[in-house]
Every structure is written in C-alpha cells, then in structure tokens.
C-alpha cells in the first residue's frame, strides 16, 4: 500500500489533550503528517487503510470531529456522537455567564439548488444566527465530567469564548482542554467576542497570551474566514503559544429577502441580522483558506508539531480527503451532522477508506 508522507511539525512540550486533563503529560511517540505535498511509497501490503490519527497527543480512531455548535450542545447528543463512532467531539461554545445569551427562533435559513430556491431543491447553503450556549456553565461542566467518566478513552474538547477580560479568560481556562472561538461572525462583537478578536491581530495576540500563560493543556485557535489574509491571525495564534488552529468558521452572510413579506431571513418578529454561512457551498472557500494556513505553517513553523483542523462543507469522505491532502490533520463536521445525523460518520469513514484504497494509501 502507499502512504502519505508529510513533514513533521511540533507542539508545546506538553501534549495530552483530553478533556479536563489539568496537567500536561509527555505525548506518546508518534510521527505527525506535514501540511503540504505528499510522496507515495509503494508496498505489497493489502491491509485495510488505517484511519487513526494522533494529533497533539490526542489519539483518535478516525480524523472526523464533531465541530462546535448544535451537535455538541448537551450530554445526550455528545453521547450519541461517541456511540456512533466520531473520532472526537468539540462541545458547543461556552462562557462564564450564560445569562447574557438569548437564542431566538427561528435562527436558521437555508439556500436550495434549483429554480428560485425551490423548497424541493437540495440544500447547498445554511445560515445561522445562533449564539453560544445559553446553558449554565456549571451544567455543561457536570455533563462533560459525566461523559469523560463514561468514555475515558474518547476525546472531548471544550470550546470557549469570553469578553475582553483577562480575569474571565483565566477563570474559564482553569477548567478545560480547549478550542478558542476567535471566529463566530455574529458572536457578540460589541463585547469583543468571537470574530471581533480573530480579525484584530493585536487583540488576538494579547488574548492568546493570557490563555497560553494559564493553560495546562494544548490550545487550538479557531480562525474566522471573514478577513483578507487568514494566515495573519493563524500566525499570531501559533506564535503566541497555541498548539493548533482550526479553520474555517462560518462566513458572514444574509441568506436572502423574502419577496412576499419583504423581510430578510431568518426573520424573528420582523427583524434579522447577518449570520454565519455554512454547508457545501462554502467548501471551496474553506479549502483555499486551509491551504493558505498549511503553506504558512510549513514554511514558518516546520520545526514544530502544530496541528491544523479543516472545517467547511464536509458531507462526504471525498470532502475530507481534500482537506487532508491540503494539510489538515483532522476534519470537523457541524452542519453536515445537523442535516444528515450522527450516523454520517460511518459513511464518511467508509468513503475515506475507499478513496485511500483507490490511491494505495495505507494511513492518514
């Protein structure tokens, strides 16, 4: 069989990235794939392709990760994800004070293929105006703890977002293994949250400094695509101590105007606001952003074991293969799970294996 041979990159000295591991451990010995380019080495082996990955000390049975959002909103759905076989789960983003979050209904709008967006057409675009979790932090922490007790060998990662407040970030970081949400386009920017940080490299550097000075576990920074050059904040995040980056979050959008009611969609009591665009329509944009980050990481951080998680419009195994070929170590899925269910991971794994067999790749 053939295998992908990417260059080795590195991480902070400590890299066990399991949820609620509050101390760093030496990572197991492994060789990480590089970001860009590959070589094929032929062999006579006909073994089943190996989908397992080890990233920043995280051992996963496959590279498919539930992306932060509605699919990771509570214990029940995250348990379902583990039972179905997802490689890891990133929970819905939390903050210290859930009381400031009010999620409205309806908060989703869909773009369909076909004439005039026919209601029968295939969904190709999805917009949401959903905020971060409106559930109390202590409730979420209790459920995280229960999941880790029931699935000690599975990877559960918290996603966190806070205001521009060092003490608040430090209090939140005391508790979790984390992906930092610097990327939500409608994530309360008036409070300097979400993309408001990811679009401001000076602010990003300061906040990353607070986080990585306090964190006892590896940190991934989630990047916004709503910026001219996504490599700039990615570079700052890695230079400021983060072990990895995730890209992309949703793209700022207005799904459309209802020409009967003359109201934008989604419409809440006659009002709306720009939201985050996802689904298969953003996949080519996400590929370009991930490729840009991968090339930058290879050129500027080639001596370190940093990780890259690709996100955007993944509904098939081939979608994931594209991200991996361009340099991603793991692939996140959020809208795809909302549309097709948690069982989608079995299809993704089967299709990715078929792709690997076709090209004689023995491992990710």
Cα angle 47-53-58, degrees, rounded to a multiple of 5: 150
C-beta neighbour count of 102 within 10 angstroms: 8
**Helix residue ranges per DSSP H, 85-230:** 137-150, 166-173, 195-198, 201-214
Contact between 301 and 231 (Cβ < 8 Å): no
Q: How far is CA 194 from CA 12, 134, 165, 298, 332, in A?
A: 24, 16, 13, 26, 18
Q: In whole angstroms, what is the distance from residue 183 CA to residue 247 CA?
A: 9
118: left (phi over 0), alpha (psi -120 to 50) or beta: beta
Question: Does the active-site annotation cover 184?
Answer: yes
Q: In whole angstroms, what is the distance from residue 194 CA to residue 22 CA?
A: 25
Q: In whole angstroms, what is the distance from residue 131 CA to residue 42 CA?
A: 48
Q: Is the CA virtual torsion 95, 101, 105, 107 positive or negative? A: negative
Q: What SS3 class is residue 353?
A: helix
Q: Is the CA virtual torsion 163, 166, 172, 177 positive or negative? A: positive
**Tokens of residue 22, six digits:** 């509050």
Contact between 17 and 217 (Cβ < 8 Å): yes
Nearest C-alpha neighbor of 227 from the set 252, 254, 202, 257: 252
Catalytic pick from 54, 184, 201, 267? 184
Mode of pairing for the β-strands spanning 251-253 and 275-278: antiparallel
Q: In whole angstroms, what is the distance from residue 230 CA to residue 244 CA?
A: 14
Q: How far is CA 291 from CA 137, 230, 319, 320, 327, in A?
A: 35, 10, 14, 13, 7
Catalytic residues: 184
């Amino acid at each position: 069989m053939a295998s992908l041979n990417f260059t080795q990159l590195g991480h902070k000295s400590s890299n066990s990235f399991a949820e609620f591991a509050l101390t760093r451990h030496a990572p197991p010995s492994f060789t990480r794939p590089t970001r860009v380019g590959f070589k094929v080495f032929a062999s006579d082996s006909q073994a089943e392709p190996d989908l397992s990955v080890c990233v920043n000390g995280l051992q996963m049975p496959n590279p498919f990760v539930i992306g932060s959002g509605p699919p990771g909103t509570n214990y029940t759905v995250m348990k379902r994800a583990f039972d179905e076989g997802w490689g890891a789960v990133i929970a819905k983003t939390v903050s210290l004070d859930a009381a400031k979050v009010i999620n409205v209904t309806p908060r989703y709008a869909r773009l369909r293929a076909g004439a005039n967006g026919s209601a029968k057409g295939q969904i190709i675009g999805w917009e949401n105006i959903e905020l971060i979790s409106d559930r109390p932090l202590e409730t979420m922490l209790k459920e995280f703890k229960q999941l880790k007790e029931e699935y000690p060998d599975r990877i559960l990662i918290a996603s966190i977002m806070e205001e521009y407040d060092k003490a608040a970030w430090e209090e939140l970081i005391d508790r979790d293994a984390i992906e930092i949400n610097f990327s939500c386009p409608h994530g309360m920017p008036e409070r300097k949250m979400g993309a408001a940080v990811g679009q401001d490299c000076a602010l990003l550097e300061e906040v990353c400094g607070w986080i990585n000075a306090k964190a006892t576990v590896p940190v991934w920074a989630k990047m916004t695509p709503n910026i001219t050059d996504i490599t700039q904040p990615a570079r700052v995040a890695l230079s400021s101590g983060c072990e990895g980056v995730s890209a992309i979050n949703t793209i700022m959008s207005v799904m459309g105007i209802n020409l009967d009611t003359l109201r934008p969609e989604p419409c809440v009591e006659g009002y709306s606001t720009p939201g985050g665009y996802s689904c298969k329509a953003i996949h080519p944009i996400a590929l370009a952003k991930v490729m840009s980050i991968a090339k930058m990481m290879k050129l500027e951080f080639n001596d370190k074991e940093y990780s890259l998680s690709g996100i955007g419009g993944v509904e098939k195994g081939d979608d994931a293969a594209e991200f991996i070929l361009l340099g991603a170590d793991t692939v996140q899925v959020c809208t795809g799970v909302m549309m097709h269910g948690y069982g989608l991971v079995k299809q993704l794994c089967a299709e990715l294996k078929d792709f690997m067999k076709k090209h004689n790749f023995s491992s990710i």
